[in-house]
């Protein structure tokens, strides 16, 4: 039962990050380019999370979240295989052009 709790926790962190980014949008941020970039402290993130009314957040069901993550992971895996295949083909072409066997 750790997987649904982990998925829900990750979703909550994503929501909290989005809320924090929206709330602090006018104050600049890591990518604002003005002055020194400073990472927020862990305590400030927890304070923002405490202010969120979790009953108002429409979270996906744990099984749906797990299915979504699984689908995206498979997509990343498929892309990895395609990159490996293209790399192999590029190596073969380089060997053919240079005459190395």
The one-digit pLDDT tens for each residue of the chain (101 residues) are 455 666 666 776 677 666 666 665 545 444 555 555 566 676 676 666 667 676 777 878 889 988 989 998 999 989 999 999 999 999 999 999 988 76
Q: Are residues 20 and 41 in the same domain?
A: yes
- What is the pTM assigned to this prediction? 0.37
Q: Are residues 52 and 98 in the same domain?
A: no
Quote the domain boundaries for residue 35: 1-59
Q: Are residues 55 and 66 in the same domain?
A: no
Q: Are residues 65 and 92 in the same domain?
A: yes
| Overall domain count for the chain | 2
With CA atoms as reference, report the closest residue to 96 among 88, 39, 73: 88
d(CA 78, CA 73): 9
Q: Are residues 24 and 73 in the same domain?
A: no
């Amino acid at each position: 039962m750790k997987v649904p709790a982990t998925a829900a926790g990750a979703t909550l962190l994503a929501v909290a990050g989005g809320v924090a980014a929206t709330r602090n949008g006018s104050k600049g941020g890591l990518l604002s380019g003005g002055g020194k970039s400073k990472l927020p402290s862990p305590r400030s993130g927890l304070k923002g999370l405490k202010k969120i009314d979790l009953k108002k957040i429409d979270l996906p069901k744990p099984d749906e979240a797990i299915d979504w993550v699984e689908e995206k992971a498979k997509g990343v895996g498929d892309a990895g295989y395609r990159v490996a295949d293209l790399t192999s083909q590029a190596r073969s072409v380089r060997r053919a052009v240079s005459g190395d066997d």
